[in-house]
Chain A
Amino acid sequence: MMMQLFYILIFPGFLFLYLMSFILEYEDRIIYARLQNRKGPPLFQPLADFIKLLAKEDIVPECADKKIFKLMPMIALTAVVTSFFYIPIWGVNSLYPFKGDLIVVLYLLTIPTVTFFLAGWSSTSLYSTIGAVRTLTQLFSYEVLLFLSVLSPAMLADSWSLGDMASFYNERPAMMLFNIVAFGMSLVAMLGKLEKVPFDIAEAETEIVGGTFTEYSGRLFAFFRMAINMEMVVGASLIAAVFLPFGLTLDPVYGFMLYIVKVFFVIFFLSVGRTVFARLRIDQMVSVCWKYFAPIAFAQIVLILIVKGVVL
Chain B
Amino acid sequence: MKIADKIITWARTKSPWVIHFNTGACNACDIEIVDALTPLFDLERFGVLLKGTPRHADVLLCSGPVTRQIEKRLIRIYEQMPAPKFVVAVGTCACSGGVFHDCYSVKGGIDTAIPVSAYIPGCPVRPEAIIDGVVKLLSKFEADEKKRRESK
- What is A's interface to B at a CB cutoff of 8 Å? 29, 33, 36-42, 44-45, 47-52, 55-59, 127, 205-206, 208-210, 213-218, 221
**Which of B8, B10, B15, B55 interacts with A216 by CB under 8 Å?**
B55
Interface string of B17-54 (1 = CB under 8 A from A): 00000000000000000000001101011010011110
- Return chain A residues, CB-CB under 8 Å to B39: 33, 36-38
Q: How many A-B residue pairs have CB under 8 A?
A: 88
Interface pairs A-B: 9 shortest CB-CB: A205-B52, A51-B11, A57-B82, A48-B14, A209-B52, A38-B42, A210-B53, A217-B55, A52-B11
Contact A48 B84 (CB under 8 A): no
Q: Is the CB of A206 within 8 A of B47?
A: no
Question: Of all chain A residues, which has the CB nearest B10?
Answer: A48
Are the C-beta atoms of B55 and A45 separated by less than 8 Å? no
* B12 is an interface residue with CB less than 8 A from chain A: yes
Which of A37, A41, A214, A221 is B47 in contact with, Cβ under 8 Å? A41
B136 at the A interface (CB under 8 A): no
Contact B12 A52 (CB under 8 A): yes
Task: Name 17 extra pairs, CB < 8 A, besides A33-B39, A52-B8, A221-B56.
Answer: A38-B39, A38-B44, A38-B45, A44-B14, A47-B11, A48-B15, A49-B47, A50-B11, A51-B7, A52-B14, A52-B15, A56-B82, A59-B82, A213-B53, A215-B55, A216-B56, A217-B56
Please indicate the chain B residues that have their CB under 8 angstroms from the CB of A29 in the complex: 44
B residues near A56, Cβ cutoff 8 Å? 58, 82-84
* Residue among A49, A50, A58 facing the most chain B CB atoms (10 A cut-off): A49
* B31 CB to nearest chain A CB (Å): 16
Taken together as a complex, chains A and B put the C-alpha atoms of A38 and B41 apart, in Å, by 8
Q: Which of B46-82 contact A (CB under 8 A)?
A: 47, 50-53, 55-56, 58, 80, 82
Q: Which of A41, A217, A218 contacts B44, CB < 8 Å?
A: A41
Give every chain B residue within 8 A of A47 (Cβ-Cβ). 11
- The reply to whether B58 and A205 form a contact with Cβ atoms under 8 Å apart is no
Q: Is there contact, CB below 8 Å, between B44 and A52? A: no
Whole-angstrom distance between the alpha carbons of A221 and B55 in the complex?
9
A210 CA to B51 CA, complexed, in Å: 8
Q: A38 vs B56: C-alpha distance in the bound complex, in angstroms?
A: 24
Chain A residue nearest to B83 (CB atoms) is: A57
Interchain CB contact under 8 A, A55 and B44: no
A56 to B52, CA, bound (A): 17
Chain A proximity of B133: nearest CB distance (Å)? 20
Please name all residues of chain B whose beta carbon is closer than 8 Å to the beta carbon of A214 when the two chains form the complex: 52-53, 55
The answer to whether A205 and B51 touch (CB under 8 A), given A29-B44, A37-B39, A221-B56, is yes
Question: What are 5 A-to-B residue pairs whose CB atoms are below 8 Å?
Answer: A33-B44, A57-B82, A57-B84, A127-B53, A221-B56
Q: Is the CB of B12 within 8 A of A41?
A: no
Docked Cα-Cα span, A206 to B80, in Å, equals 19
**Contacting residues, chain A, for B83 (C-beta < 8 A):** 56-57
How far is B141's CA from A189's CA once the two chains are assembled, in angstroms?
A: 43
Across the interface, B52 reaches (CB within 8 A) one of A42, A59, A206, namely A206
Q: Given A38, A49, A209, which contacts B53 in the complex, CB threshold below 8 Å? A: A209
Closest to B14 in A: A48
> Contacts A39-B42, A42-B45, A205-B51 hold; do A51 and B56 have CB atoms under 8 A apart?
no
- CB nearest to B84 among chain A residues: A56
**B42 nearest CB neighbor, chain A only:** A38
Closest Cβ neighbor of A41 among chain B residues:
B44
Q: With a CB–CB cut-off of 8 A, which chain A residues contact B14?
A: 42, 44-45, 48, 52
Closest Cβ of chain B to A49, distance in Å, is 5
Q: Closest approach, in angstroms, between the C-beta of B43 and any C-beta of chain A? A: 9
